[in-house]
Amino acid sequence: MENEYNLMSIRALIVDDSSVMRKIVERSLRQAGIDLTKVFEAGNGAEALVVLQENPVDLILCDINMPVMDGLEFVKQLGGVANAKDVPVVMITTEGGESHVVQALSCGARGYIRKPFTPEQVKEHVVPVLGGKS
């Protein structure tokens, strides 16, 4: 039951400069069996930090290449946001190089999904960081 509990009532923040991609990520999370009670969206890292000031979340999915503030800088700055410093972040990006993965994880991301992706891949990477088993 612990597994099911961890996937229920999740408040997620999806950060991507493409609104279409934000919708795809949201749909993939729902298809992965994650019960999203609230979904916040931001078009870049700076907007995401503003959203987090007012809104606590349980999960963040974040692109890397974005204008204004990219995903890596956003993850670095997340530690300074009282609401969000322990919130798991999973990167979703077209950047597939090993150095990008290492850089993202060393900045504090807990998972890394390459675009294009399937809902199964989203489940595989997101469920464990929510404390469940994929």
Partner 1 sequence: MKSVSELLATDGGHETWIPLLEMATREVFELMLGCQLTVAATAEEPAWEVTAMVGLAGQLCGVLSVRCHAKSAALMTSKMLGVTLDKVGPEVSDALGEVCNMVAGNFKNKIAGLAEGCMLSPPTVITGSDYSLRSLADFPGLEVRLLFESMPIVISLQIHS
Interacting residue ranges for partner 1, rule: CB under 8 A: 17-21, 23-24, 27, 65, 67, 93-100, 114-118
**43: helix, strand or coil:** coil
Beta bridge partners of 39: 12
DSSP class of 35: -
In whole angstroms, how close is the CB of 121 to partner 1 at the nearest point?
9
In whole angstroms, how close is the CB of 97 to partner 1 at the nearest point?
4
Q: Which helix (H) or strand (E) holds 60?
A: strand 59-62
DSSP class of 82: T
Contacts of 9 (CB under 8 A, 6+ apart): 35, 37
In whole angstroms, how close is the CB of 88 to partner 1 at the nearest point?
23
Nearer to partner 1, 9 or 118 (CB): 118
Nearer to partner 1, 24 or 52 (CB): 24
Nearer to partner 1, 44 or 77 (CB): 44
Nearer to partner 1, 58 or 95 (CB): 95
Backbone angles phi, psi at 88, to 5 degrees: -65, 135
In whole angstroms, how close is the CB of 1 to partner 1 at the nearest point?
30
Backbone angles phi, psi at 41, to 5 degrees: -130, 150
